[in-house]
Amino acid sequence: MNIPNTNLFRRFIRFYSDREYYHLLVKFALPIALQSLVMSSLNMVGVMMIGQLGETSVAAVGLANQVWFLLNLVVFGVVSGAAMFIAQLWGKHDSANIRRVLGLTIKLGLVAAFLFWIIAGFFPEQALHLYTDDSSVIEIGSQYLRIFCWSYGFFAITASYGVALRSTGNVRLPLFVSTSALGLNILLAYPLIFGVKIIGLPALGVQGAAIAGLIARILECIAMVTLVYRDRSNPVAATKKDLLEFDFKFMASVMKPVLPVIANEILWSFGITTYNAIYGHIGTNAVAAINIVSTIDQMAFVLFLGLGTATAILVGNQIGQGEPAKAYAYAGRSLSLQMFGAMLMGVLVYFFAGNIFQFYKVSPEVILNARQILIVMALGMWIRASNHVIIIGILRSGGDTLFSLLLDGLVIWFVGVPVTAAGAFLFRLPIHLVYALTLSEEAAKLLAGLGRYFSKKWIRDLTTKVAAVGEIP
């Protein structure tokens, strides 16, 4: 009677005892997670420094960064779409086409950066008015945007090379460059924000934070490009021809599966920014509380970002090598690790993360709102983490970009935004309950995403698309 149970137990143990999987996962996930941890930690320090200026400045920088957030997600759509190609091409060690895909990625990223530079540089007041009616927040945020928008193009180039490096197994270089740049950002931010009387440097406040960020982004880009091209044999050391060519047949072969990813990120990012607009119209205190909690969320989520990105690399490599069964198994292990790991992290956040609120010079109402939002965030973390690995690590890396678009880009508009808006404006719920309603979207995505994973319909070899086009002589 116990034999079936024994066999099931053995299969369970065998499924989770693949040493090769864990070796590769640690190799890729830990540096990516470490990079995210350092970035989130330094970002938290930056928000704390802004927090010394009061909740109006916190809200202003938070809403100003929504423009960068939109650019970031559009660029992420471009580079993550390219990453699924690069990871699979690296499985075949096809460096020539990897460089061509990278060249296309940089061009698309720069186009997006240019469009957002126009918005942030010339129409910042109009952009911020979408999020808030507070004239003080709009004025301070506009000052920040007019300076920081000059970093957008440098960011697009850095992001393109960084994702290409990670997709080909080089996770250390992006880690080194990004963490160094953000460290420099913090070092510059403090004297620029608060001033240094000894040398006559005035306190520039929010504008000082923007200047520090701009300098760091420029130097980050220069360092990334310099280190990549130090070794011309690097698979992502694209030539001038790769960067400037416009082979429309090749572009079409790559863009067909990439366009749904870009559309996905645009729809999702505008959904997220709509959430922030809803928070903004609840009040400046609500925005400040959300921005404070978001820094904690970023730090708590770093391990899961690393695991999701590592899964995308592993799954893409296995599909490129012609091992779909292995790709399916790797995806399943990562999904279960992500889910249960996020449950544990949620418990830790619930009990310990609230201690950080004492470092902010904001009103008691903001702190109370932040504590309540933190509880909701901790409870829903496992759902969001599971969706992250399904969408980024499994569906996209497997080439199933159209279903990913439907799952991630549309559910937010048909479920999350209407429910959240109703909670805020129809039922007049407090900010922590409005924030909780955003999880309705995540729950719907998880149910549909699990079904898609088990169907195996997401496993598609994309390398045949670029191979069919052939290389340029």
User: Which token pair is 236?
Assistant: 């992502």
pLDDT for the residue numbered 81: 76
pLDDT for the residue numbered 305: 86
390 within a domain of the structure (yes/no): yes
pLDDT for the residue numbered 285: 87
Taking the C-alpha atoms of residue 4 and residue 323, their distance in angstroms, rounded to an integer, is 29
pLDDT for the residue numbered 473: 36
Nearest 5 degrees, angle CA 122-CA 125-CA 128? 120
470 within a domain of the structure (yes/no): no
282 within a domain of the structure (yes/no): yes
By CB atoms closer than 10 A (0-12, 13-18, 19+), residue 303 is buried
Measured CA distances, 306 to 30, 163, 166, 285 (Å)? 7, 13, 11, 32
Query: What is the total count of domains within the chain?
Result: 1
**Bridge partners, residue 201, by sequence:** 196
**Bridge partners, residue 196, by sequence:** 201
pLDDT for the residue numbered 464: 67
Measured CA distances, 310 to 306, 317, 394 (Å)? 6, 11, 10
The values of phi and psi at residue 18, to 5°, are: -85, 105
12 within a domain of the structure (yes/no): no
pLDDT for the residue numbered 20: 83
Closest C-alpha among 212, 250, 272 to residue 76: 272
Q: Consecutive sets of 10 residues in the chain, 473 residues long: mean pLDDT of each?
A: 59 71 81 70 67 78 79 81 80 84 90 93 88 84 91 92 86 84 84 81 85 90 93 85 82 79 84 88 87 84 86 87 90 93 93 78 87 94 95 89 90 95 94 95 95 93 63 42
User: Which token pair is 212?
Assistant: 């520090």
Q: Is 73 in contact with 268 (CB distance < 8 Å)?
A: yes
pTM for the whole thing? 0.73
Cα–chain-centroid distance for residue 16?
28
pLDDT for the residue numbered 454: 94
DSSP string, 180-194: HHHHHHHHHHHHHHH
472 within a domain of the structure (yes/no): no
> 195: alpha, beta or left, given left = phi > 0 and alpha = psi -120 to 50?
left
Domain carrying residue 397: 19-461
**Bridge partners, residue 83, by sequence:** none
